[in-house]
Amino acid sequence: MACNLTTGRLDNCTDSIGGLDYVEFADYDSTMATSASYAVGDTDVITDFGVTPTWYKYELNSTANSYIENVNSDMDAGTTFYEQVLSLSLQKLDKTSHKELKLVTYGRPQVRITDRNGNKFLMGLTRGAKVTGGTIGTGGDLAEFTGYTLTMTGREPLPANFLSGSAATV
C-alpha cells in the first residue's frame, strides 16, 4: 500500500450538525466484508454488500447518542487500527426492547449508522461490534432518564466505510 498523500483540505463551511438519527443492527456476517462492492476508484465508500442482511432499525431522539473513531497507532510496532465507539441512549424500558437488547449484547452485530447530516457509515465491517458497557435503569425523579444505555466498540483495520446505493438503503 502506498502511503503517499494525494490531496489537501480546505477550511469547510459551518453547515454540519452533530448527532445521530438512527442506527440499524444486523447479525454479524463475515462474508459482508469479502463480498462488498465499492464506489469506482474509492474503497472508502461501499455501494453494495453482496449479501442481504436483515437490518433492525433503532430511532434515536436523544442528544446523548454519539459515534467516535479513535485512531490507534504504535510507532514501535508499525501498526494502526481504528477503535469505533457507539454510545446509545434508548429511552423507556419495555419487555420487547429488553429481549432484543440482550441479544445485541450477546452477539457482535454489524451496525449501520446514520447521522443528522445524512451520512451513513458501517461499524464493524470485518470483526463486528461488541457491547462493552451499559446500564438498564430508571431515575428517582419524575424528570430523570428511564431506559437503556449501551456502549458498543469495534476494532477494525480501516476506518468505517461511508455507505451509498443499496448499501445505504433502509
Tens digit of pLDDT for each residue in 119-151?
Answer: 999 999 999 999 999 999 998 999 999 999 999
CB 40 within 8 A of CB 134: no
Give the model confidence (pLDDT) of 92-111 as tens digits: 999 999 999 999 999 999 99
* Cα–Cα distance, 95 to 39 (Å, whole number): 41
Q: In the predicted model, is pLDDT for residue 14 greater than 90?
A: no
Q: With a threshold of 0.85, does the pTM exceed it?
A: yes
